[in-house]
Chain A
Amino acid sequence: MGCISPDGKPTDSGTRLLRALESGLRSPEEVARETGLPLFRVRSGLRDLTSAGLAAPRDDRYELTPKGSDLLATLA
């Protein structure tokens, strides 16, 4: 996965994606604007976070899962 290390910790870009979802549902375009990451990286990264159970898609947007929120709390 591009934004989750093999040890389960998010990379710098993974952390930025998680933080962008902290305040609620966001579209990939909104996350790209907020993080400054290119849109293709955001789409790919959100897919990775979803596979890892850290984020979940709803309609065309994404939100943190409880597991994602817990992980983010440990990074603060």
Chain B
Amino acid sequence: MEQLKEEVGLPRLGERAPDFEALTTQGTIKLDDYKGSWLILFSHPADFTPVCTTEFIAFADIYEELQERGVELLGLSVDSISSHIAWVRNVQEKLGVKIPFPIIADLNKDVALRYGMIHEGQSKTETVRCVFIIDPNQVIRAILYYPLTTGRNMAEILRLVEALQTTDEHGVATPANWQPGDKVIVPPPNTQEMAEERLGQGYECKDWYLCMKAL
């Protein structure tokens, strides 16, 4: 395992997402099956645990909104397919929520190790709460890590997806605490000439390097 971890390393932003072919609750799925769509690949520590159950309900709640934005969800833990099936059936029966997205049964940790989802300081056997946002070209665009104790914030995940899509669509950046509809940041100029011209281009500028505009 030490050798595999060293060979694979942690994925980095801007790199192609590591390939996988995995058993899931909706059949065998490859990373390639998501080409052309955004994908949120997320891991949870274990089935039938309280924080994970609240997170799955919350992910199910935002699934439709994500799909409207061309985003698919794919869960993962090192549990078996039978455990995943029993858990999602239990969630539906006890909490009235149907889990609409597939969950990888990564018993041999193949995908978890490729994506650096096991952090031994947290647990040697369970995946931490990772979120990988992968774009339609299968490039990793954002990574979030949450500890075992802390459930993820769906509003932030949605905001992050919308910010990335806005950046791609309009060639802009987004400021701190940006929300859809807020003004965006015009990329700073690269030359002195561009900096001088920038101030006369109708943007809302605090100075040459900090200009905003509405979309």
Contact = CB atoms under 8 A, between A and B. Distances in A.
B26 A43 contact: no
B27 interface: yes
A44 interface: yes
A40 B134 CA distance: 14
B207 to A, nearest CB: 45
A22 interface: no
A49 to B, nearest CB: 11
A45 B27 contact: yes
A43 B28 CA distance: 10
B117 to A, nearest CB: 20
A44 B32 CA distance: 10
A38 B24 CA distance: 15
A47 B32 CA distance: 12
B36 A47 contact: no
A39 interface: yes
Contacts of B29: 40, 44
Contacts of B34: 39-40
B69 interface: no
A2 B27 contact: yes
Interface in A25-58: 38-41, 43-45, 47-48
A47 B28 contact: yes
Contacts of A3: 27
Interface string B10-54: 000000000000001011111011101100000000000000000
A48 B28 CA distance: 8
Interface in B82-140: none
Contacts of B33: 39-40, 43-44
B28 A2 contact: yes
B182 to A, nearest CB: 31
B36 A44 contact: no
Contacts of A71: none
Nearest to B36: A39
A72 interface: no
B139 to A, nearest CB: 17
A32 to B, nearest CB: 10
B28 A40 contact: no
B67 to A, nearest CB: 8
Interface of A: 1-3, 38-41, 43-45, 47-48
21 contacts: A1-B27, A1-B28, A2-B26, A2-B27, A2-B28, A3-B27, A38-B37, A38-B67, A39-B34, A39-B36, A40-B33, A40-B37, A40-B72, A41-B26, A41-B27, A43-B32, A44-B28, A44-B29, A44-B33, A45-B27, A47-B28
Interface of B: 24, 26-30, 32-34, 36-37, 67, 72
